[in-house]
Chains A and B, each alone.
Chain A
Amino acid sequence: GEDVEQSLFLSVREGDSSVINCTYTDSSSTYLYWYKQEPGAGLQLLTYIFSNMDMKQDQRLTVLLNKKDKHLSLRIADTQTGDSAIYFCAETPGAGSYQLTFGKGTKLSVIP
C-alpha cells in the first residue's frame, strides 16, 4: 500500500532556509502536496506539484521532486516565526484516484 514518510521535527533560526523532506512509495503518484497545520487549525494547502515536474517555485516556497528516488522536499526561504507549524506531505495515487495519503507531519520550530 501507499506510505509517506517524513522526519518529525525541524528547528531553524529566523531568516534561514528550512528544508522539509518526504519520501513516498507509490510510483504511480500523480500529484504531491504540501499542507500546513497551525495549532488548533485545520490543514491549509501550501503548494502542490504534478509528477511530471521536477521543481515548482511559489514566492518563498520551492518544491523539488525526484521521482526516481520518490523524494519530495519543501524549501522555505527566509523562514519567519509565522512559519512555525506542522507540515504534511501528501500524495494522490494513480490516475483517477482521489484519495489523499498523508505523512505523519514535520513540526517546524523557528527560533527568533
Chain B
Amino acid sequence: EAGVAQSPRYKIIEKRQSVAFWCNPISGHATLYWYQQILGQGPKLLIQFQNNGVVDDSQLPKDRFSAERLKGVDSTLKIQPAKLEDSAVYLCASSLDWGASSYNEQFFGPGTRLTVL
C-alpha cells in the first residue's frame, strides 16, 4: 500500500515570496491533515479536511496561509507571502475517518522542509 506522498521535499524561498505544497493521501482515506513542525517542536495542526470540507482550521494563519482539497483527494497548502518564521517542515497526514471514535491513527508523509531567507 502506497503511503502519503508529498512534494516538493525541500524548498528555499525569500521572504514575501509565495510557495505551495502538495499532498496525496493514502487511497480511501477521507481525512487529511496539514501540520507545521518547527525545528525542535512537535507537529502543530494547521488544518483538517474531511473529504473536501474543512473540519478545523482554527490554527491556520488565514492572512497568509490557504489550503484546499477540491476533489476530496489531493490537497495543496499555500503560503503567500512567506515570512521568516514560516521556516519549518510541513507534514501531511491522512486517516480513514475521524468518526465518532477518538482513536485516530494518522499516517504521515515525509514532509516538505521550507526555508525562508
A: which residues have CB within 8 A of B? Answer: 4, 30-31, 40-45, 48, 50, 88, 90, 92, 94-100, 102-105
Which residues of A are found within 8 Å of B73, using beta-carbon distances? none
What are 5 inter-chain pairs, A to B, with CB distance below 8 A?
A43-B91, A50-B103, A98-B55, A98-B102, A104-B42
Judge whether B56 and A42 touch: CB under 8 Å: no
**Across-interface contacts of A45 in B (CB, < 8 A):** 105-107
Q: Which 4 A-B pairs have the closest CB atoms?
A: A102-B42, A42-B108, A98-B98, A30-B102
Chain A contacts for B45, CB-based, 8 A = 99-100
Query: Which of A4, A41, A50, A92 sits near B110, CB closer than 8 Å?
Result: A41
Determine whether the beta carbon of A43 is less than 8 Å from that of B108.
yes
Please name all residues of chain A whose beta carbon is closer than 8 Å to the beta carbon of B109 when the two chains form the complex: 42
Q: State how many angstroms separate the Cβ of B107 from the closest Cβ of chain A.
A: 8
Which B residues are within 8 Å of any A CB, using their own CB? 4, 31, 40-45, 48, 55-56, 91, 93, 98, 100, 102-111
Q: How far is the CA of A50 from the CA of B104 in the complex (A)?
A: 11
Question: Within the assembled complex, what's the spacing in Å between the Cα atoms of A70 and B37?
Answer: 25
Contact B103 A92 (CB under 8 A): yes
Contact B102 A95 (CB under 8 A): yes
Nearest CB of chain A from residue B114's CB, rounded to whole Å? 14
CB pair B42 A90 closer than 8 Å: yes
> B102 contacts A102, CB within 8 Å?
no
- Structural contact, A96 and B102, CB atoms closer than 8 A: yes
Closest Cβ neighbor of B89 among chain A residues: A42
Q: Which residues of B contact A104 (CB under 8 A)?
A: 40-42
Residue of B at shortest CB range from A103? B42
Q: With a CB–CB cut-off of 8 A, which chain A residues contact B106?
A: 43, 45, 100
